[in-house]
């Protein structure tokens, strides 16, 4: 069901409710610099400024909660050191799609991937094909397209140790009409799902980098049962991320030699 949801998300921008443990509200009248209450949300130069930082960590995740309360999730993280041209990608899943976990390490122009565990572990190596930067930040592109024109300034908060401006918008009406067939197939129910709430939040630092973009979509089946989807994309440890060799690298190199 997580794969189906990816298709639904491909054509939409998003965000959601910020984790209270990660973002703690401060003075709602202040500004974080860059994107401000008076200047509006600006993300056009975010990629350039993130490149200039030299290193960062991105984490992309989403989870689906079914009518019976069970949930499944997918989390994909990238640790990126642009100056050293090194990255480490991890994908972890829970629920019905668990078992899809893997890691990919890139260094010196070579990509090494690890799949499976124990006796079932497999390694694949190849020449690095894609840009480390584009791969690590690619998930954000489709979810910030409409934020500059639609989001409203709410206040300032602290996220990942820096002051950020918070922007929000509610796009429930648009999602209520969007691709209902695909949305229905996201959940393990034969009933039609109607969107009852879709809220977006984005936290932007003084360099106009969206540090956290989140959304939550809540729906209701024909019989009145609640389902939900949560999506999150974060950029952390900007300028301080390091990428060490994974402990399985020697095994991967030995198998490919």
Helix (H) or strand (E) holding 113: strand 110-115
Tell me what the pLDDT averaged over the chain comes to. 77
Please name the residue that has the structure tokens 């206040």.
155
Whether the predicted pLDDT of 119 surpasses 60: yes
Sign, CA dihedral 2-200-92-104, equals positive
pLDDT value, residue 27: 38
Instruction: Delimit the domains of the chain by residue range.
Output: 2-256
pLDDT value, residue 40: 67
Task: Specify the higher pLDDT residue, 190 or 130.
Answer: 190
Q: What is the per-residue pLDDT across 4-52, written as a single tens digit (0 to 9) for each?
A: 344 333 333 333 222 333 334 433 333 344 454 445 677 777 888 889 9
Task: Please state which of the ranges 29-38, 74-83, 208-217, 245-254 shows the lowest mean pLDDT.
Answer: 29-38
Alpha helices in 55-125 (DSSP H): none
Q: What is the per-residue pLDDT across 127-142, written as a single tens digit (0 to 9) for each?
A: 876 677 887 887 665 5
Whether the predicted pLDDT of 60 surpasses 60: yes
Q: How open is the CA angle 184-62-96, to the nearest 5 degrees?
A: 70
Model confidence at 149, pLDDT cuts 50, 70, 90, reads low
The model carries a pTM of 0.77
* Contact between residue 13 and residue 144 where contact means Cβ atoms under 8 Å apart: yes
Nearest alpha carbon to residue 170 among 106, 215, 119: 215
């Amino acid at each position: 069901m997580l794969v189906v949801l990816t298709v639904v998300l491909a054509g939409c921008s998003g965000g959601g409710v910020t984790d209270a443990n990660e973002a703690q509200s401060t003075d709602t009248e202040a500004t974080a610099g860059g994107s401000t209450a008076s200047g509006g949300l600006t993300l056009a130069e975010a990629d350039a400024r993130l490149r200039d930082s030299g290193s960062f960590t991105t984490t992309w995740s989403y989870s689906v909660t079914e009518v019976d309360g069970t949930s499944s999730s997918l989390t994909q993280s990238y640790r990126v050191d642009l100056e050293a041209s090194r990255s480490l990608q991890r994908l972890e899943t829970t629920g019905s799609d668990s078992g899809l976990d893997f890691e990919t390490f890139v260094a010196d122009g070579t990509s090494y991937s690890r799949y499976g565990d124990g006796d079932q572990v497999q390694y694949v190596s190849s020449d690095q094909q894609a840009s480390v930067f584009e791969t690590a930040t690619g998930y954000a592109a489709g979810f910030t397209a409409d934020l500059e024109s639609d989001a409203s300034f709410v206040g300032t908060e602290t996220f990942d140790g820096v002051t950020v401006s918070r922007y929000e918008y509610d796009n429930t009406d648009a999602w209520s009409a969007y691709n209902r067939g695909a949305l229905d197939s996201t959940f393990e129910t034969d009933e039609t799902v109607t969107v009852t709430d879709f809220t977006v939040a984005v936290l932007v630092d003084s360099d106009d980098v969206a540090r956290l973009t989140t959304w939550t979509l809540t729906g209701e089946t024909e019989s009145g049962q609640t389902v939900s989807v949560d999506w999150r994309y974060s950029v952390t440890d900007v300028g301080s991320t390091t990428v060490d060799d994974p402990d399985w690298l020697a095994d991967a190199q030995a198998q490919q030699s």
